[in-house]
Chain A
Amino acid sequence: MAFFKSTLRIDRLARLQGSLQTKSTDNVRDAGHYCRQFASALTPVRTGALKASWYVSGPGSESDYPQCSAAAQSLNPLARILPEVQAALFDPTVGQLRANTGQFALPECIVSSAVNYSIYVEEGTVFMGPQPMLRPAVESTRQLFINTMSNVAADA
């Protein structure tokens, strides 16, 4: 008596990996823009430059720094515009996550302000109380990001 045995193998790992990467990138992008919007909503307005200066750099090669810095400069020509923040500048361990082109190799982004006086507003000075914008935004974004990222594997 002869028996035939057939095995069907479907390699879905590659597709799963791609799906995870795409969904993670989407979540990082959403979180970055949510954080920027939140910070912008809390920003006190005199000229509007600070409010316009919040930008999101990443994920990948995406960045709205050129538009945001230009808008801030036009609203307040006296504002000193800071260069775009590079991940490796404030967190050396992130440097290894960049590709040879300098772009992020993993899904991540930076939310920052392009005007130099944002830190004085955020943290205050001796005689001026802080008006935090980015910190509350980060606090709010953190839980949202954790929730969405915890569903990435299930949705992939």
Chain B
Amino acid sequence: MTADLSRVDEWMYAVLSADLTIATGTKGRIYADEAPQGTPTPMVIFAFLGGADRLLTLRARLTSALYLVRAIGSGSSFNGIEPIADQIDYLLSTVVPDRGTIVRDTRITSCYREQPHQRKDSTQGVPIVYLGGYYRVAFQPAVQ
């Protein structure tokens, strides 16, 4: 058994950063959990929020993890980050083939959006908008 969430983080970063729309739209600003202080927007942040294991055998388990993946922009309008959020959803909804995709020793078997996400708040007086979704990622050990 492995600390497989780091493999999922690696896969998600690779998927998002390899896409031209997202890479150019964010100028490569794609982060796990949080952005460094002072980083300009737009950007994409993904974060693990929770998960559960289902034991298949003594050596295998199927994990279901929930990720919040969102485009973040400054201002009060979602228009600027809408194309990025659209592309995130397209990518994460279509990128995993039926047979799954392997990241080192972990097979990611499915990824789909479980809930939409949209939020507005502000940081240091600057309005911030968030647009994306909660994605359910299922994975298991690739070699048993």
- Report A's interface with B, CB cutoff 8 A: 119-120, 122-130, 132, 135-140, 142-143
Inter-chain contact B123/A139, CB cutoff 8 Å: no
Q: Is the interface of B mostly helix, strand, loop or mixed?
A: strand
Q: Is there a chain A Cβ closer than 8 Å to B111's Cβ?
A: no
B32 and chain A: residue at smallest CB distance: A129
Q: Is the interface of A mostly helix, strand, loop or mixed?
A: helix
Interfacial chain A residues near B35, Cβ < 8 Å = 126-127
Inter-chain contact B41/A126, CB cutoff 8 Å: yes
Inter-chain contact B33/A130, CB cutoff 8 Å: yes
Q: How far is the CB of A121 from chain B (nearest CB, A)?
A: 12
Interface residues on B, range: 20 to 34
Inter-chain contact B51/A139, CB cutoff 8 Å: yes
Rounded to whole angstroms, the CA-CA distance of A45 and B52 in the bound complex is 25
Centre residue among B39, B45, B50, B119 by max chain A CB count within 10 A? B50
Rounded to whole angstroms, the CA-CA distance of A2 and B121 in the bound complex is 87
List 20 additional contacts besides A125-B128, A139-B52; criterion CB under 8 Å: A120-B121, A123-B49, A123-B119, A125-B34, A125-B123, A126-B128, A127-B34, A127-B36, A128-B34, A132-B48, A132-B49, A132-B50, A135-B66, A136-B51, A137-B50, A138-B50, A139-B50, A139-B64, A140-B52, A142-B52
Rounded to whole angstroms, the CA-CA distance of A8 and B52 in the bound complex is 50
List, sorted by A's number, 6 A–B pairs whose CB atoms are closer than 8 Å.
Answer: A120-B121, A126-B39, A127-B37, A127-B39, A136-B51, A139-B52
